[in-house]
Amino acid sequence: MGEVHLRVGDDERLARAAWSRISEPGDPQAGTTISVLGAVGALRWLESSARHPDRLPRRQQACVERWAPRLEGLEPERDLERFAKLGGRVIVPGDPEWPVGLADLGAAVPHALWVRGAHQLPGGENARSAVAIVGSRASTRYGEGVAREFGFGLAEEGFPVISGGAYGIDAAAHRGALAASGAGTIAVLAGGADRLYPAGNEEMLRRVIEEGAIVAELGPGSAPTRHRFLARNRLIAALGTVVVVVEAGHRSGALSTANHAVEIMRTIGAVPGPITSVASGGCHRLLREQKAVCVTSTQDILELVGPIGSVEEAPEPACAPGLLDGLEPLASQVFDALPARAGAEVTSLVRTSGLSATEVLHGLATLHTLGRVRRVGERWARVTS
């Protein structure tokens, strides 16, 4: 499998390739089982449990009933071989290229990523952070123009552009990035990475493979079902440092990506449009509900990516002097009061910083907008990735 995979054993990679056929994307019980037993152990457990499912507790039984039928005909070695012949590689946790941001998905973390294209995945070692640009297939010329402009502008500034390879806004964002010089673009597909879906975008997706990468969590040959499209959206959200919704009707799938992004505390940008345009309705709702920041230019997005957007510029997760550069005094004081690795509640930050609760919250709001802190329940923590 080449030099980049030295850290991970072949058994682990094979087991994960198998799991990417066994469970549906985002199945939290599969994620939990693998995190407890390891991919190899979980596979052995499944194989033995499948022989005597009636001896299991009811909840495990349900999982085995879901997963065991797919053990039949599994040939992960052949999958890997064939995929390598297509020029692809399979990335698993522990590989240097594995995107750190995927950990935010918790039990819904993908088992493996099937990647085609030389471009390094965002969030891996030595990779720059990336921006996801998403939106409706039912887009307008206005939205497509904006997506193309942002895709181009971000790629020119060196930020890879992530999207879903679909018609409409997705395609416009990829095309904009392809027209720029160099940063690349990444299409996250809902089916297998051997299928360039939708067919109308096949030529564009071939260019994405040449100049960027396409990514799938399902094994080759897998069909892109409706459920898989929705599950795929969580990967787009997790791979981006910032998620920008360009156009989305009130029921657009792009809103599912935005909601995944909210859950895992990504910064979300929404592009406004005429209030008379239904294609902007979802964006306006995100703005109104204050789930998203209003973005009107590439520059606006770059500000959301923040000063530690690029890995090269922020090598230290601890409170190195550079981390506080460019923050206003209040935000800087609050950041300083946050523990280097753990989270802290507001009341504790009030004590540590000597600021009032209002000041602490204002500081946290600024830091959150800059992507410097994340909230998990009642606690706030530094963003170190």
Binding site for a second copy (CB under 8 A): 142, 145-146, 271-276, 280-281, 283-284, 287-288, 290, 293-297, 300, 345-347, 350, 356-358, 360-361, 378
Q: Give the max Cα distance, the chain.
A: 63
Instruction: Tell me which residue of 273, 268, 265 sits closest to 290, measured CA to CA.
Output: 268
**Of the two residues 41 and 274, which places its CB atom closer to a second copy in the complex?**
274
Q: Give the C-alpha separation, 143 to 156, whole Å.
A: 20
Give min distance, CB of 191 to a second copy, in A: 33
CB nearer a second copy, residue 210 or residue 300:
300
Task: Write down the least CB distance from residue 240 to a second copy, Å.
Answer: 19
**Least distance from a second copy to the Cβ atom of residue 273, Å:** 6
- Rama region for 354: left / alpha / beta (φ>0; ψ in -120 to 50; rest): left
Nearest-approach distance from CB 366 to a second copy, in angstroms: 11
Nearer to a second copy, 138 or 361 (CB): 361
Q: Give yes or no for a contact between 60 and 52, defined as CB atoms under 8 angstroms apart.
A: no
Q: What ranges in the chain are assigned the alpha helix state H? A: 10-22, 28-51, 58-67, 76-85, 141-156, 169-179, 202-211, 226-239, 253-263, 281-288, 298-305, 329-337, 346-353, 357-369
Nearer to a second copy, 198 or 339 (CB): 339
The pair of structure tokens assigned to 37 is 């037993």
Residue with smaller CB distance to a second copy, 38 or 272: 272
Cβ closer to a second copy: 123 or 281?
Answer: 281
CA distances in angstroms from 324 to 2, 90, 327, 331, 370, listed in the order given: 39, 37, 6, 9, 12
Distances (CA, A) of 370 to 133, 306, 311, 326: 18, 5, 15, 11
91 - beta bridge partners? 113
Residue number, 246 or 383, with CB nearest to a second copy: 246
How far apart (Å, rounded) are the C-alpha atoms in residues 74 and 224?
19
- Shortest distance, position 245 Cβ to a second copy, whole Å: 13
CB of residue 379 to a second copy, shortest distance in Å: 9
Q: How far is the CB of 271 from a second copy (least distance, A)?
A: 6
Q: Please report how close the Cβ of residue 264 comes to a second copy at its closest, in angstroms.
A: 18
Q: Which is nearer to a second copy, 1 or 357 (CB)?
A: 357
Please confirm whether the linkage preceding 198 is cis (ω < 30° from 0).
Answer: yes
